[in-house]
Chain A
């Protein structure tokens, strides 16, 4: 009996942690730049409940994100998905870095000369 209670409370804590981790990555659609975790808006509370139910049913983070993106769009994610549509967004900082390094190398060579 005690073992059951302890394991149930551990499972709840584990789900709480997973809900927290996921909801920190999700945007509250009705708030100004606030995560669902930090928001007490009705929308956020509903999503927290949905996520908790889904974790309890055994769904994983990826499935839940997919479920939410299908309905609310990628806008609900603070971090854009890595896919073809967002490829430029992800690659652009590296392009900037390459250009920056190129510029620094040229400049330092010139200074040495």
Chain B
């Protein structure tokens, strides 16, 4: 009996530790590290258009709208996988502003890619030096952010959008 009393704190500690570890590791995917920007204001940016460097986009120009920001490049193979789905999103949600950032790409390559595969974006900004991506904490392509009407980042996906992700994770937020 005395032995059980002595061991009780250790048993309780073990149970608490086990629950804590289970809680900390639940829903953790090493391929999807948590985004530091989730539920925070969208970073300020200013970017020239891929097609016309006299056209400039700033975050102020598109406030009060739901915005899907997609970082892509012509050299990015997974970007090609999700590309048709961006057209699907555009067709189903015409009020959604889809902003693409051509990341670390030659402008001519970016333009050719969008000519060949089509352009689903309302605006395509240039991020040739990667500084806009840095502000968004982007570390792999493609990366997509959903911004609400209040200018908060409400969703982020690292890697290509799939039909399942679109149906289960993005659409409920649109």
Q: Which residues of A contact B (CB under 8 A)?
A: 29-30, 43, 46, 50, 69-75, 88, 92, 95-96, 99, 102-103, 106-107
B6, B136, B139: which contacts A43 (Cβ < 8 A)? B139
Please count the residue pairs between chain A and chain B whose beta carbons lie under 8 angstroms apart in the complex: 43
Contact A30 B10 (CB under 8 A): no
How many residues of B are counted as interface, with CB atoms below 8 angstroms from the partner's CB atoms?
18
The reply on B77 being an interface residue by CB < 8 A is: no
Chain A residues whose C-beta falls within 8 Å of the C-beta of B13 in the assembled complex:
95-96, 99
State the Cβ distance, A109 to closest chain B Cβ, in Å.
10
Chain B window 123-152, contacts with chain A (Cβ cutoff 8 Å), 1 for yes, 0 for no: 000000010001111011000000000000
Q: How far is the CA of A88 from the CA of B33 in the complex (A)?
A: 21
Q: Which residues of B contact A (CB under 8 A)?
A: 6, 9-10, 13, 17, 20, 33-37, 130, 134-137, 139-140
Chain B residues whose C-beta falls within 8 Å of the C-beta of A43 in the assembled complex:
139-140
Chain A residues whose C-beta falls within 8 Å of the C-beta of B136 in the assembled complex:
71
Contact A103 B6 (CB under 8 A): yes
